[in-house]
Amino acid sequence: MLSAELRERAHEIIGRYPGARSALLPLLHLVQVQDGHVSDEGIAECAQLLGLSKAEVAGVATFYTMLKREPMGRHLVSVCTNFSCKVRGGQEVFDRLSEHLGVGHDGTTGGGELTLEHAECLGNCEGAPVVTIDYYNYECTDPDRAVELVDGLMRGEAPPPPTRGYVPTGIRDAEYRLAGLGPRDPEAMGVAITHARASDGAVPPPASGPGAPRATLVPSLGDEDGPTGDEGGS
Partner 1 sequence: MAEPLKVISKRWDVPDGHTLDGYLRTGGWVAGRAALDMDPDAILQMIKDSGLRGRGGAGFPMGVKWGFIPRDSDKPTYLVINADEGEPGTFKDREMMERDPHMLLESMVIGAWALKSNRGFIFIRGEYLWPGVRLEEAIAEAYANGYLGKDILGSGYDFDVTLHYAAGAYICGEETALLDALEGRRGQPRLRPPFPAVAGLYACPTALNNVETVCNLGFIVEHGVDWYRSMGTEKSSGPKLFSVSGEVVRPGNYEWPLGTTARQILEESAGGMLPGRRLKFWAPGGSSTPLLTADHVDTPMDFESISAAGSLLGTTAMCMFSDKTSVVDACLNWTRFYEHESCGKCTPCREGTFWMAQILERILDGRGRSADLDILEQICDQVLGRSFCALGDGATSPIFGALKYFRDEFEHLIEHGRLPDDIEGHAGPVGDNSGRLRPAASGRPA
Closer of 152 and 232 to partner 1 (Cβ): 232
Is residue 92 close enough to count as binding partner 1 by CB under 8 A? Answer: yes
Shortest separation between residue 110's beta carbon and partner 1, angstroms: 26
Return the ∠ at Cα 150 (arms to 144 and 154), rounded to 5°. Answer: 140
174, 218, 221 from 213: Cα distances, Å: 36, 11, 17
Q: List Cβ neighbours of 193 (8 Å cut-off, separation of 6 or more).
A: 161, 162, 163, 164, 165, 166
Q: Are 75 and 171 in contact (CB under 8 A)?
A: yes
Is residue 184 close enough to count as binding partner 1 by CB under 8 A? Answer: no
Closer of 111 and 126 to partner 1 (Cβ): 126
Is residue 30 close enough to count as binding partner 1 by CB under 8 A? Answer: no
Which of the residues 127 through 166 are near partner 1 (CB under 8 A)?
Answer: 127-129, 132, 134-137, 139-142, 163-166
Is residue 177 close enough to count as binding partner 1 by CB under 8 A? Answer: yes
Is residue 170 close enough to count as binding partner 1 by CB under 8 A? Answer: no
Among the listed residues 7, 39, 71, 89, the single contact to partner 1 using CB under 8 A:
89
Interacting span for partner 1 (CB under 8 A) from 3-11, 87-95, 104-112, 152-160: 87-95
Instruction: State how beta strands 131-133 and 193-194 pair.
Output: unpaired
- Cα(110)–Cα(147) distance, integer angstroms: 17
Q: List Cβ neighbours of 121 (8 Å cut-off, separation of 6 or more).
A: 80, 82, 84, 85
Among the listed residues 1, 55, 188, 196, the single contact to partner 1 using CB under 8 A:
196
